[in-house]
Amino acid sequence: MQSELKIYNTLSREKEVFKPLKPPFVGLYACGPTVYNEVHLGNLRTFTTFDVVYRYLTHLGYKVRYVRNITDAGHLTNDAGEGVDRIEERAVLEQIEPMEVVQKYTNSFHEVCRIFNLLPPSIEPTATGHIVEQIEMVKRILANGYAYEVNGSVYFDVRKFMKNHEYGKLSGRNIDEVMEGTRDLDGQDEKRDPVDFAIWKSAPANHIQRWASPWGDGIPGWHLECSAMSCKYLGKQFDIHGGGMDLKFPHHESEIAQSVGADGIEPVRYWMHANMLTVNGDKMSKSKGNSFLPKELFAGDHAMLDKAYSPMAVRFFMMQCHYRSTLDFSNEALQAAEKGYAKLLNAYKTLQALVYIKDDAKKSAEEIKEVNELCESIYDKMNDDFNTAEATAILFEMSKKGNSYKEGHISVSTLDEETFNRLNKTFTAFIRDILAIDKEDTQGDNVTEGLMGLVLTLRKDARDKKDFSTSDKIRDELLKLSIQVKDGKEGATWSKN
Ligand code: AMP
Ligand code: ZN
């Protein structure tokens, strides 16, 4: 019998059997990137974790609505909700529009997701597209008496909230610890208490990004964005909320307080937190200077890298580790993963090429039992809080089986056809749909890039000759292959849907 899916819930600090609110539907929300710079490999680890959660739940037959937002306003340089807006700061630095910053880094994020085989979410809402919902939520919190307005900013009143509800239960922080961390930040004079946080921030006169609100021109609070968008698309209570460990406090703790403060309902049933990608034990982060970008990894173009690595080998490197454990980056570890990955992929090809030949040879009951046990236990591992580390170990066991059949010292016919098919189906599902590590590597991408370059050049030639019927034909035919061509000032670009 197949085991039930269990998820480690940060809130209860226990693995709990997963029971969706409205099966077969599942609502899944993951905090997306703040698009003011390029995502580094650490960010990508967290997004990959929730990609696997999305893929596995879908594989199990759930109808998942996966919402992953884009933070394109309101995320200040200090996570406690003070400092300057990251996107605004970048726009001023680069002397471009904030929305140009947002577009540039959203595009690059999507490109990285595509290369890493991350499925697009069902909905990818932007914070700036949901200002109305955020203002409405601030109003509800104010009406319930859990927030107050000062000089055009609205702050969440943590002490007042704590009279009726808990604050700190997700992260395990107590309020005095929180006080320690917030003492020296600016903007404190407006707050009744240093632990309060902004849910709407008045925009300084020279701020480019600004929206009209009942409290004057301002920008939304970062924590509030996720509360408003998850509520809009998944409801006041939904199944799973994910993000990196470092978002537990203050971001997620504040999300709970806001939702309860606005609507009186606990927003999330299962809180999932992905652990950090580290370098020599330190969290990878841009500010520490120990981060690198996916494109640097694929080109081997960074002082920390001995060589280039393929995107799928890197994805496999992540899969070999459980998402709640830290994963330490090193060239040695990546090279080991690369070797393991090559082995696995060879076995995958071997298994795919094997054909079951019906004959009268005696079946091996022992072999049939072993293969069936492997097919069952790989699901047990995934059902144990998405343990991809142990699932990949089982894939290696399965590879051994596949290779042995190929070499013929156990003929395929030692298995009955049903078991043989089950092995093939399970192995393929894990490689292709769940861990999703079988995408063509960069080499394949280069060929595509080259071919597309050629096609777009031919199209341009046609346009230059005013042969619009040919150029439109090329565009329409590409669209049938889900390739979209966009004409811009710099020429035509393409993207695959
Ligand atoms: P940000 O764009 O800074 O909001 O971060 C996007 C996501 O990446 C968040 O879920 C973070 O928790 C996550 N993250 C940041 N640094 C790391 C890291 N070193 N390892 C894993 N996840 C990270
Ligand atoms: Zn969030």
Q: Summarize pLDDT for 259-317 with one digit per residue, the tens.
A: 999 999 999 999 999 999 999 999 999 888 899 899 899 888 888 899 999 999 999 99
Residues with CB under 5 A from ligand 2 (ion): 31, 226
> How far does the centroid of ligand 2 lie from the alpha carbon of residue 177, in Å?
22
Q: Is the predicted pLDDT of residue 408 greater than 90, yes or no?
A: no
What pTM does this model have? 0.87
Q: How many residues does the chain have?
A: 497
The pLDDT value recorded for residue 141 is 98
> How far does the centroid of ligand 1 lie from the alpha carbon of residue 42, in Å?
6
Question: For residue 39, which atom of ligand 1 is closest to its CA?
Answer: 2
CA distance 114 to 392: 22
Q: Is the predicted pLDDT of residue 478 greater than 60, yes or no?
A: yes
Indicate which residue's Cα is closest to atom 2 of ligand 1: 33
CA distance 42 to 27: 25
The pLDDT value recorded for residue 65 is 98
Pocket residue to mutate for ligand 1, from 43, 45, 118, 277, most atoms within 8 A of Cβ: 43
> Among residues of the chain, what percentage have pLDDT more than 70?
93
The pLDDT value recorded for residue 442 is 41
Question: For residue 246, which atom of ligand 1 is closest to its CA?
Answer: 12
Report how far apart the first and last C-alpha atoms of the chain are (Å, whole number): 39
**Ligand nearest, relative to CA of residue 34:** 1
> How far does the centroid of ligand 2 lie from the alpha carbon of residue 160, in Å?
23
Pocket residue to mutate for ligand 1, from 90, 246, 287, 318, most atoms within 8 A of Cβ: 246
Pocket residue to mutate for ligand 1, from 39, 46, 49, most atoms within 8 A of Cβ: 46
Indicate which residue's Cα is closest to atom 14 of ligand 1: 43
> How far does the centroid of ligand 1 lie from the alpha carbon of residue 290, in Å?
14
Nearest-CA neighbor of 220 among 156, 146, 287? 156
Question: For residue 284, which atom of ligand 1 is closest to its CA?
Answer: 19
Is the Cα torsion angle 270, 271, 277, 278 positive or negative in sign?
A: negative
The pLDDT value recorded for residue 359 is 74
> How far does the centroid of ligand 1 lie from the alpha carbon of residue 31, in Å?
9
419: which 2 tokens? 């078991």
Q: Is the predicted pLDDT of residue 230 greater than 90, yes or no?
A: yes
Q: Is the predicted pLDDT of residue 372 greater than 50, yes or no?
A: yes
Q: pLDDT tens for residues 112-130? A: 999 999 999 999 999 999 9
Question: For residue 46, which atom of ligand 1 is closest to its CA?
Answer: 22
The pLDDT value recorded for residue 443 is 44
The pLDDT value recorded for residue 410 is 56
Over range 474-493, report the average pLDDT: 81
Answer whether 308's CB lies under 8 Å from 298's CB: yes
> How far does the centroid of ligand 1 lie from the alpha carbon of residue 287, in Å?
12
Higher-pLDDT residue of 446 and 3 is: 3
Question: For residue 33, which atom of ligand 1 is closest to its CA?
Answer: 2
Instruction: Of 259-263, 357-361, 365-369, give the range with the top mean pLDDT.
Output: 259-263
Indicate which residue's Cα is closest to atom 23 of ligand 1: 43
CA distance 467 to 459: 9
Q: pLDDT tens for residues 428-466? A: 999 999 999 998 654 445 567 678 878 888 998 899 899
Strand partners, 273: 243
Q: Is the predicted pLDDT of residue 179 greater than 80, yes or no?
A: no
Q: For 188, how many CA atoms within 13 A lie in the half-sphere containing its CB?
A: 12
Residue type, 246: D
Indicate which residue's Cα is closest to atom 1 of ligand 1: 33
Higher-pLDDT residue of 136 and 88 is: 136
Residue 191: pLDDT band (50, 70, 90) is: very high
> How far does the centroid of ligand 2 lie from the alpha carbon of residue 228, in Å?
10
Query: Which range among 172-181, 392-401, 455-464 shows the weakest confidence by mean pLDDT?
Result: 172-181
Q: pLDDT tens for residues 203-216? A: 988 888 999 999 99
Number of neighbours of residue 261 by Cβ within 10 angstroms:
27
Residue list, ligand 1 pocket, CB within 6 Å: 31, 33-34, 42-43, 45-46, 243-244, 246-247, 276-277, 283-285
Please report where in the chains the tokens 């943590």 appear, as a residue: 158
> How far does the centroid of ligand 2 lie from the alpha carbon of residue 68, in Å?
9
Query: Which range among 82-86, 96-100, 402-406 shows the weakest confidence by mean pLDDT?
Result: 82-86
Over range 345-353, report the average pLDDT: 88
- Burial-class residue 137 by CB neighbours within 10 Å (0-12, 13-18, 19+): buried
**Ligand nearest, relative to CA of residue 282:** 1
Answer whether 60's CB lies under 8 Å from 18's CB: no
Determine how β-strand 491-496 pairs with β-strand 483-488: antiparallel
> How far does the centroid of ligand 2 lie from the alpha carbon of residue 285, in Å?
18
What is the residue extent of each domain of the chain? 6-274, 290-434, 443-496
Question: For residue 32, which atom of ligand 1 is closest to its CA?
Answer: 6
Higher-pLDDT residue of 342 and 452 is: 342
Indicate which residue's Cα is closest to atom 6 of ligand 1: 33
Q: Is the predicted pLDDT of residue 382 greater than 50, yes or no?
A: yes
> 290-434 has which CATH code?
1.10.730
Q: Is the predicted pLDDT of residue 400 greater than 60, yes or no?
A: yes
CA distance 397 to 372: 12
The pLDDT value recorded for residue 134 is 98
> How far does the centroid of ligand 2 lie from the alpha carbon of residue 327, in Å?
22
> How far does the centroid of ligand 1 lie from the alpha carbon of residue 244, in Å?
5
Looking at the domain 6-274, which fold is it? Answer: Rossmann fold (3.40.50)
Residue 412: pLDDT band (50, 70, 90) is: low
Phi, psi for residue 104 in degrees, rounded to 5: -60, -50
Q: pLDDT tens for residues 18-32? A: 999 999 999 999 999
Over range 399-406, report the average pLDDT: 87
Question: For residue 34, which atom of ligand 1 is closest to its CA?
Answer: 2
Indicate which residue's Cα is closest to atom 12 of ligand 1: 244
Number of neighbours of residue 488 by Cβ within 10 angstroms:
7
The pLDDT value recorded for residue 84 is 77
Question: For residue 327, which atom of ligand 1 is closest to its CA?
Answer: 20
Higher-pLDDT residue of 187 and 271 is: 271
> How far does the centroid of ligand 1 lie from the alpha carbon of residue 43, in Å?
4
Indicate which residue's Cα is closest to atom 11 of ligand 1: 244
Over range 138-163, report the average pLDDT: 97
For residue 389, the surrounding DSSP H or E stretch is helix 388-407
The pLDDT value recorded for residue 115 is 95
Q: pLDDT tens for residues 60-94? A: 999 999 999 999 988 887 665 567 788 888 888 88
The DSSP symbol for 232 reads H
